[in-house]
Structure 1
Amino acid sequence: MADLPNLANLDYVHRVNRAIDHITRNLADPLPLEELARIACFSPFHFHRVFRALVGETLHVFVKRLRLERAVQWMWYRPSASLTEIALAVGFASSSDFSRSFRAHFGVPPSVFDVEAYRRRRRDQMIDTLVPDARHRLARLPAGANPDHFTPRIRDLPKRRVAYIRALEPYTSQGVPDAVARLTAWARPRGLAGGQWLGYQWEDPEVVALEQCRYDVGLEIPPATPVDAPGINVTTFPPMEVVELDLSGGIELEMRALDWLYKTWLPTSGYVPDHQPGFEAFLGEPFAHGSEHFELRVQIPIVDAATSL
């Protein structure tokens, strides 16, 4: 989505983001053009054209890609699930339709796809982009290792209303710092900057190409707070259960924490990741401690493994 400065274009971005949020949260459901156009307040004809112009993909290609990428996540997190279960859970009508689409996108059928090798390549690309001289320090933490003595806790989070600005290509641009600055400039005069700041993304960068990842800089706001500033979107997260870790350090510590949660804690916890983004819940404003040191809580939404899929 291009950086579009005038108010009309910011309104289009706002409306398309509403449709993207609906798609991301409802991949298992049919997503007809007419419904998404209504959510974005466009006619179906204009929505299709505006979506392609801003996102760079047709609506059909975008939805199918998200479903396939979500399927790869489920193949990793839920290895006991059948391909049919995964296909239906991400919105394909049948396992045969899923297999055809998967092979067309990834080059091999899902039955022989090496998820671990694929994620390893994506992770290496992310590290080379973020900290090109530090791959030796960011090797994946092996299962069972916990050298940082991470201590998780389970929390129930209430329903939250969040004002956010979406940063595109967050790993390869200044989109995140710019979004922080814009949202802070809006929040401070309104006395809201002391609230809970969040960073979150729906895509897993170990599955999704970095240039197609989206990162939202968000701020929890009271239910009745009006938000009428161009480019600032509003979303509501439902009540959710999360596993949470406190972090005080740099990106290396955060990546080790995520490795430990996904490879050591989750497989023996009785939980699996929920259909929600992972959150960085900042202590204070984002980047209050600089861009190399973070004070935050990592929060991964979870559901009981016995009731998932």
Structure 2
Amino acid sequence: MTASSTAHQKRIHQVLDYIEAHLEDNLSLETLSGLTHYSPFHFHRIFKMVTGETPNGYVKRKRIEKAASVLLRKKDITISELSFRYSFTSNSSFTRAFKSFYGLSPTDFRRKSKGTYSKISQMNRKNGQAITKFDAYVCTTNPLQKDILMTDHISVATKNPISFVGIPIIGKHNSNQAFEKLLNWAGSRGLLRTPNFKMASIFYDSLKITSEANVRMSAGLLVEQPVEMDDTVAMVHFPESNYIIGHFEIGMDQFEASWTSLFMYMNANGYKKTDQPVFQLYHNNYNEHPEKKCIVDLYIPVT
């Protein structure tokens, strides 16, 4: 990847941060392109190259996902309020857009999610267009998952500020490439000389709401000292915070159940997630584990 492409990606990911923080505001092409000092035409082309979506399509999807998140958390908000808040012209246009994305109306989405932990999967239209659909799941109760859900894996603690250098990506399928790129970058700067260096996955989107192909995340490296930055990486900083922390030794197919156990613990004990991302901090290379398992801490910032 050229230095120019890397700089483009960094600018676009800064725009994605802006979109996330301003979903209720004017997010026109002119507004977004102005953040990058690109022309609207040039911005539109680069945005689609980086994200795989047009600016308008991305904003529309993020607003629908945000509305879905609100539906899951706030039972008293009306469909009309959500439609107005996220810039849809009418309830019917919001409902059509929501249903085309999740396969359910907002009302049915809320009803189906009641008391469950939801996720998004993919299904195909008859014309071959992939759309998302809403599935409810609760952890199955085989003996191994019963062990995962035991609360003695989970604690609540206040942590000092935590910093990572990270490479932002879109789509979990791009994570291996991002980690490889990050390791090469860090190795060339002597950041891997400490034998116990820690890697992390940082999630800006919820996999309860966003499909794996579209989820925003960063491949991260934990740092304790200031690091000289360039356009390859971005600093990800977490202020001092309370966290629900789950410590697990799990296979790659058990992360979903483990995260679910943390969120169940959060809800059962009256905690609320903050606006900070969740992340998972790795303590080993699972390829070197005799059973190919990850030793990992999962973090939810809470109040």
TM range (shorter): 0.7 to 0.9
Quote how far apart the aligned CAs of 1:65 are: 0.8
**Whole-Å separation in 1 of the counterparts to 2:77 and 2:205:** 22
Quote how far apart the aligned CAs of 1:246 are: 0.5
Percent identity of paired positions between Structure 1 and Structure 2: 20
Q: How does 1:17-166 map to 2 (within 5 A)?
A: 17-31=13-27, 33=29, 36-76=32-72, 78-83=73-78, 87=82, 92=86, 97=90, 100-107=93-100, 108-113=104-109, 114-116=111-113, 122=120, 140-141=139-140, 146-148=146-148, 149-151=150-152, 152-166=154-168
Q: Greater CA deviation, 278-287 or 177-186?
A: 278-287
- Over 3 Å counting, the alpha-carbon distance change for 1:85 and 1:156 in structure 2 is farther
Name 2:260's counterpart in structure 1.
259
Q: Greater CA deviation, 252-261 or 177-186?
A: 252-261
Q: How does 1:216-295 map to 2 (within 5 A)?
A: 216-222=218-224, 224-228=226-230, 230-262=231-263, 264-284=264-284, 289=289, 292-295=292-295
Of Structure 1 and Structure 2, which has the larger fraction of its residues in strand?
2
Q: Residues 186-229 of structure 1, C-alpha deviation per residue, up to 9 Å, x if partnerless?
A: 2134332344422022223343233222331012335642112x
2:6 is matched with which residue: 4, 10, 15? 10
Structure 1 counterpart SS, 2:213: helix
| Greater relative contact order (Cα < 8 A, sep 6+) | 1
Contact 2:118 2:209 (C-alpha < 8 Å) held by counterparts? no
- Over 3 Å counting, the alpha-carbon distance change for 1:101 and 1:167 in structure 2 is same
Q: Residues 90-138 of structure 1, C-alpha deviation per residue, up to 9 Å, x if partnerless?
A: 95258x756632432324542232543997673598xxxxxxxxxxxx9
Gaps of 5+ in 1: 126-137, 304-309
Structure 1 counterpart SS, 2:147: coil
Gaps of 5+ in 2: 124-136
- Over 3 Å counting, the alpha-carbon distance change for 1:49 and 1:223 in structure 2 is farther
Q: Residues 282-304 of structure 1, C-alpha deviation per residue, up to 9 Å, x if partnerless?
A: 1256866489411110111223x
* Two-structure CA RMSD over aligned residues (Å): 3.6
**Whole-Å separation in 2 of the counterparts to 1:30 and 1:196:** 39
Quote how far apart the aligned CAs of 1:244 are: 0.6
- After TM superposition, the score normalised by the length of structure 1 is 0.73
Name 1:181's counterpart in structure 2.
180
- After TM superposition, the score normalised by the length of structure 2 is 0.74
**Whole-Å separation in 2 of the counterparts to 1:67 and 1:254:** 27
Q: How many residues align?
A: 277
Quote how far apart the aligned CAs of 1:59 are: 1.7
Contact 2:201 2:281 (C-alpha < 8 Å) held by counterparts? yes
